[in-house]
């Protein structure tokens, strides 16, 4: 079973991406993605 989560840029805090995450995982998801606002690849973290 999967849960929908939103990813926010660690630099500018803009919420750019949404993805699915396994429900049994307790850790927050962290992925390097392209931020349209910053114009570079930055770390994106799961928001509450």
Q: Residue 1 pLDDT more than 90?
A: no
The structural domain count of the chain equals 1
The answer to whether the beta carbons of residues 46 and 38 sit under 8 Å apart is no
Q: Tell me if the pTM is above 0.95.
A: no
Q: Residue 17 belongs to what domain range?
A: 2-46
Residues 4-48 pLDDT 10s:
999 999 999 999 999 999 999 889 999 999 999 999 999 999 998
**Pair of tokens at residue 38:** 């910053």
CATH number, residue 42:
2.20.28.120
Please give the pLDDT value at position 41.
97
């Amino acid at each position: 079973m999967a849960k929908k989560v939103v990813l926010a840029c660690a630099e500018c805090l803009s919420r750019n991406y949404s993805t699915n995450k396994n429900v049994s995982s307790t850790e927050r998801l962290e992925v390097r993605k392209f931020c349209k606002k910053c114009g570079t690849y930055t770390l994106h973290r799961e928001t509450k």
